[in-house]
Structure 1
Amino acid sequence: MKSMLKKHILLFLFYPLITIGQVIPSTDTTIYKSRKGIFEIKYNNNHWLKSDLTSKWDAEFHDTYNLLNAYFIEYDYFVPEKNIKKTLKSQYAEFGKIKNLKIYDKMIHDMKVKYFTCTLDFNNYTYIFQGFLYNGKAGTMQIQFGAQQEAIKQYQVYIDEFCSGITQIKGMKINNNNNNNNL
């Protein structure tokens, strides 16, 4: 009886270690590698889907309910810090005038980025956009997220999760044969 009690106590003490493999969430991640091979985005398939549609962006993602969108692009040029506000305003010009544009420094992994937030009224709906620009190895990289005002707070955790999956690929070689037609 004493031996059985010791086994139960031992099992009780080691139970958390035994079950650890069962409580760790599965790795339902996909890796998107940027067209220049400079960045990769590891994203959670349970929260994000990559769109197969093509646009001016290199890659587009959306949440599983299609309420939140993420847009990624690598430019073949650098966006100077003094032109970030002008660049962002021009991106939204066809949809209306952005309001409450705020730009600040933020660290994402080892990258010091220019993070922005803004609002846009379009077709009687208010949209919130946020994202960042990063002048990196071979030009500027931009990621932006957009959703209706009512959805942005509940999806902030998805935005933070997505940003935490963006990294520079270490040891990549820069192709100096890129032409800068986008200047």
Structure 2
Amino acid sequence: MFNKFILLFLLSASCMIGQTKTNSKVDTYTSRKKVYEIKYAPERWIRADTSDWDVEFHDKYNLVTAYFIEYDYFISDKKLKSTIEDEYKEFGKIKNLKIYKKKINDLNVNYFECELDYNDMLYKYQGFFYSGKGGSIQMQFGAQAEAIEQNQALIDELNNGISIIN
């Protein structure tokens, strides 16, 4: 009985040590209208301000890029397909566009996935549109197909970092 108690103590102590090591620093990006925030781990995502998007993130290896923008208008479900196609038309024609409903935190979003053959390389894009307070927002991830597949957990982590500011 005493040996079982010691074993239980050691197991619980090792779990507690593991929990303290996984606590990492979290930074927050607040949207320009102060409606949304994105919490992210700076050791995995590097933030860069751009002129075309409100904010841009790169993974630490610079394989996956994430873009966020807040629009001053609403993008209807009927216009989603044409909006996505317009974004990529200067790079080529997108293929295998899928749009579906998905819940991210408390947001019911229109999630999309597509492919683009650009300079004989296959790129994959995914992300979502959400229409809410003050207009619409878009979060988009892009990379070579292999990088998207290998970094899906990292993409999901950043997606799950977005929320509405109360």
Does 2:36 align with 1:39? Answer: yes
1:78 corresponds to which of 46, 71, 74: 74
Give, in whole Å, the separation in 2 of the partners of 1:106 and 1:13. 41
Summarize the alignment of residues 3-152 of structure 1 with structure 2, pairs less than 5 Å apart. 6=2, 10-24=5-19, 25-52=22-49, 54-152=50-148
Per the TM alignment, residue 19 of structure 1 is displaced from its structure 2 partner at its CA by 3.4
How many angstroms apart in 2 are the aligned matches of 1:118 and 1:127? Answer: 9
Kindly report the root-mean-square deviation, in angstroms, between the aligned alpha carbons of the 2 structures: 1.6
1:100 to partner: Cα distance = 1.0
- Please tell me the residue identity of whatever aligns with 2:34: G
Q: TM-score, normalised by structure 2?
A: 0.92
Distance of 1:9 and 1:85 partners within structure 2: 60
Unaligned ranges ≥5, structure 2: none
| 2:149 is the alignment partner of 1:153 | yes
- CA-CA distance at 1:44 after TM superposition: 1.8
- Map of 1:164 onto structure 2: 160
Segments of 5+ residues of structure 1 without an aligned counterpart are 171-183
Question: How far apart, in 1, do the equivalents of 2:17 and 2:91 lie?
Answer: 48
Larger radius of gyration: 1
What is aligned with 1:177? none
User: What secondary structure, in the 3-state scheme, does the structure 2 residue paired with 1:135 have?
Assistant: strand
SS of equivalent residue, structure 2 residue 151: helix
Q: Report how many residues are paired.
A: 164
Q: 1:9 offset after TM fit, Å?
A: 5.2
One-letter amino acid matched to 1:71: Y
2-side partners of 1:99 and 1:20: how far apart? 46
Task: Give, in whole Å, the separation in 2 of the partners of 1:32 and 1:21.
Answer: 30
Q: What TM-score does the superposition give when structure 1 sets the normalisation length? A: 0.84
Q: Quote how far apart the aligned CAs of 1:149 are.
A: 1.1
CA distance in 1, matches of 2:131, 2:113: 18
